[in-house]
Amino acid sequence: MNNSMCLSFQVKASKKNEFGQAPIYARITINDVRTEFSIKRFIEPEKWINKAGIAKGNTEDIRSLNAHIASVRTKLFQHYNRLLDSDKAITAEVVKNSYFGITEKSKTIVEVFEYHNSQMKSLIGKDYAEGTYERYCTALKHTKEFLQFKYRVSDFAIKQINHEFITEFEYFLKTVHSCCHNTAMKYITNFKKIVRICFGNGWIEKDPFINYKITLKEVEREILLEHEIQAIADKEFVTPRLNQVRDIFIFCCFTGLAFSDVKKLSKGHLILGIDGERWVKINRSKTDTRSSIPILPMAQSILDTYANHPKCVNKNVLLPVSSNQKMNGYLKEIADICGINKNITSHIARHSFATTITLQNDVPIESVSKMLGHKSIRTTQHYAKVLDKKVSADMQLLKAKLSVSQGSTKIRTA
């Protein structure tokens, strides 16, 4: 594209004033698109040399006018050349605005972050889950706190964000907020999305994340073993609230549903599967991917127990689920009563389903992935542990294959 600028000065004879003088306009043309503005000077049309773009004559007034036109011409080309050097997109309007000191306001990180979050909020239930929106709100809160802590400012120009800013932000999250590595990386990932939006829109010329690598450490995920799940299932608690929380937790252990999904579970999510049995089919709140889960007898028994529960009937749900915070608090109480020395949360049920209930009982990982609603088996592998019991069983099968007559096959060595 040819960005060369053509500049001319024109007299608008149709706009004469009461003294018969017409205004002089500067006309800028770039790529066949033009804009113009008045230079706040007037002249009789007959005293104007249109081709040269100057006034004719040698009087003091004419010399002063032509000097002003020359000054406007020089300044316009100075602004044009400065824009060329900055590698910015150049239009006739941009040159004119630069001449008048009208520059696009620099974007700031908090401004863009807040706008992004407001859009995300309006798309909850369509493109985003409530939890995703809340995480971005927390990431914005941490960003504001970092700006105050490090720079003593409430906002920060996007153009000033660099590699040092990002590494200092990571350090702030890990020290001041005591975030573990993976949690800090998740907030950095949220922040990176906002920066990439700015980069994509051309508000910054270079991606400051280009030399920054976001890495996650492998986490040993807590699960419940078969005897622990059974101990919780068999326990009768004195208070109804603990029995109710226990039932919902066990239901999750036998379906793999996350808390947000079991909370919204309704009769509409129950279908008759291809095997003639009842299935749960639900789009996950977190990713909107489909989970397809045959209902095991234990899970069906719990559904039957709460079929006529007032909360379920009034809210058209299958289970009377409280808030996640309350449930996790009650689960700690349940763990203590059952003598289980593990930090039990609602999400442990999902991990336990993947490992103890399914994989340990020889359900293929492809099927587990489908039931969990994962887009990739690689995601399922993070949930699924291979237990010593399973390794032992597999090795026993191997021993049986290798055994011959009364003894075992001996491998000769040199």
The domain tally of the chain equals 3
* Structural domain includes residue 85: yes
pLDDT digits (tens, 9 = 90+) for 144-198: 999 999 888 888 888 889 999 999 999 999 999 999 999 999 999 999 999 999 9
pLDDT at residue 413 greater than cutoff 50? no
pLDDT at 405: 46
pLDDT higher than threshold 70 for residue 103:
no
> What residues make up the domain containing 172?
109-200
Shared domain check, 333 and 254: yes
**What's the mean pLDDT in 357-384?**
85
Q: Are residues 247 and 373 in the same domain?
A: yes
| Within-domain flag for 211 | no
pLDDT score recorded for residue 124: 86
Is residue 64 situated within a structural domain? yes
> Is 240 within the bounds of a domain?
yes
CATH number at residue 375: 1.10.443.10
Residue 340 — pLDDT band, cuts 50, 70, 90? very high
Q: Is residue 209 part of a domain?
A: no
Let me know whether 274 and 298 are in one domain.
yes
**Across residues 108-133, what is the average pLDDT?**
90
385 band by pLDDT with thresholds 50, 70 and 90: low
- Angle at 60 (CA atoms; ends 55, 62), nearest 5 degrees: 10
- From residue 406, alpha-carbon distances to 200, 380, 400, 412 in Å are 71, 41, 11, 18
pLDDT above 60: residue 142: yes
Q: Is residue 65 part of a domain?
A: yes
Average pLDDT value for residue range 255-262: 91
- pLDDT tens digits for range 25-36: 999 999 889 999
Does residue 331 surpass a pLDDT of 90?
Answer: yes
pLDDT at residue 204 in the model: 86
The whole-angstrom separation of Cα 230 and Cα 233 is 5
pLDDT at position 167 is: 96
Confidence class for position 129, pLDDT limits 50, 70, 90: confident
Whether residue 395 lies inside any domain: the answer is no
Lowest-pLDDT range of 90-94, 223-227, 335-339:
90-94
The DSSP result for 160-203, as a single string, is G--HHHHHHHHHHHHHTS---HHHHHHHHHHHHHHHHHHHHTTS
Whether residue 133 sits in one domain with residue 94: no
Indicate if 266 and 361 belong to the same structural domain: yes
Of residues 201, 100, 117, 111, the one with CA closest to residue 153: 111
Last residue of one domain, picked from the residues 60, 78, 99: 99
Look at residue 407 and tell me whether its pLDDT is greater than 60. no
User: Are both 22 and 161 inside the same structural domain?
Assistant: no
User: Are 275 and 349 in the same domain?
Assistant: yes
The pLDDT value given to residue 387: 63
Looking at the fold, whether 191 and 293 belong to one and the same domain comes out as no
